[in-house]
Amino acid sequence: MNLDASQLLVSNSLHHRIHIADYLEFQKKHGMYKMDFFSHAPHLWLDHVQQPDTSELTRLLRQYNIEIEVLTPLSYKYSISSVKNTKQSEATYEYYCNCIKTADILGCRIVVVTIEGGCFDIDFSDQWRWAVEQLRLLCIEAEKQSIILALLPSYGKLSPIMTSLPEVVQMIEDVGSNSLNTVLDTQRISMTGESITQWVEALGNRIVLVRLADGNYNGARIWGEGSLPCRRYLEEIEDWGYTGPISLQVSSDIYAKEPFRAFERNLHYVRRQII
């Protein structure tokens, strides 16, 4: 295949119970030097109160010669679509501003914004409007730091908005900023019956990150352990001509006891397919 192994990003999403130094050493041994970094504590404490101290993380990244290409803040109880002028809305704005500044300090140019936490008993149009206003403000902050925001759509059970391709397209259009782009996540699009081809036709170069995960209706899985057409996905990505980052991020507690073994199986499967 014409996909390049250098496009692959590893992720610490399965390894937050492992010391960050041990995790980085493990990735270096496997020849992986680029990350889709999840802001799990204790790897990095990020909140809306203050800028985190990144000195130790920066030191370790330099020691192991590893770069963070994508920063994925955990959503916690922050919500882009929270009710305007509430404590939650204000804290959400401050949180993502801190994430943008932290990404810049770490030399990372993409920050993922996960759409979660909306209320199912509040009118859809109100939550949509609040999300648009919040994202417009965050895009202004992102532009100051030359950061790209990448929307990650939600599952239907986690949010009443931004759960399908048409809504992602509409949100990007409504916000109207070149700083707002999106993530194509294979496991998430499978939940809505969408295809890579549909996403590429609708969004093209607004897709700035691809996440390759197998999965089923019980959640994400490492490649080869779910029910998704993984080989076909790779062929579609190759036919598209995509040259951006490809994350091997998987979030699932079923691998919590042996995250290193899960990572090795996942990496072996993907490398075997693209080389």
Report the CATH number that the domain containing residue 33 is assigned in CATH. 3.20.20.150
Residue 223: predicted pLDDT: 85
Mean pLDDT of 165-185: 97
Taking the C-alpha atoms of residue 83 and residue 27, their distance in angstroms, rounded to an integer, is 41
- pLDDT for position 274: 79
Cβ neighbours of residue 168 closer than 8 Å, sequence gap 6 or more: 151, 153, 162, 182, 203
pLDDT band per the 50, 70, 90 thresholds, residue 275: low
The span from the CA of 66 to the CA of 27, in Å, is 9
Model confidence band, residue 1 (pLDDT cutoffs 50, 70, 90): low
Q: How many domains does the chain have?
A: 1
* Mean pLDDT, residues 218-240 taken together: 88
Domain range for 232: 5-274
The CA-CA-CA angle for residues 99, 90, 42, to 5°, reads 35
pLDDT over threshold 80, residue 122: yes
**Mean pLDDT for the stretch of residues 248-267:** 90
At 231, the pLDDT band (50, 70, 90 cuts) reads confident
Q: Is the model's pLDDT at 252 over the cut of 90?
A: no
**HSE (side-chain half, CA atoms, 13 Å) at 26:** 18
Q: For residue 69, give the H/E element and its range.
A: strand 67-72
DSSP structural state of residue 40: -
Over residues 145-156, mean pLDDT:
92
pTM above threshold 0.85? yes
Mean pLDDT of 107-113: 98
In angstroms, rounded to a whole number, what is the distance separating the alpha carbons of residues 258 and 256?
6
Taking residues 16-31, report their average pLDDT: 95
Give residue-wise pLDDT tens across range 58-88: 999 999 999 999 999 999 999 999 999 999 9
**Can you read off the two tokens belonging to residue 249?**
């991020």
Helix or strand run (H / E) with residue 272: helix 259-274
Mean pLDDT, rounded, of the chain: 93
Q: What is the 3-state secondary structure (H, E, C) of 139-189?
A: HHHHHHCCCEEEEECCCCCCCCCCCCHHHHHHHHHHHCCCCEEEEEEHHHH
CA 242 to chain centre: 17
Among residues 115, 94, 97, the alpha carbon closest in space to that of 105 is found at 97
Distance (Å, whole) CA 27 – CA 33: 7
Model confidence at 236, pLDDT cuts 50, 70, 90, reads very high
Query: Which tokens is 19 given?
Result: 């010391």
Find the distance separating the first CA and the last CA of the chain, reported in whole Å: 6
Residue (of 155, 160, 248, 235) closest to 200 by Cα position? 235
Q: How is residue 83 annotated by DSSP? A: P
Write down the pLDDT at residue 230.
86
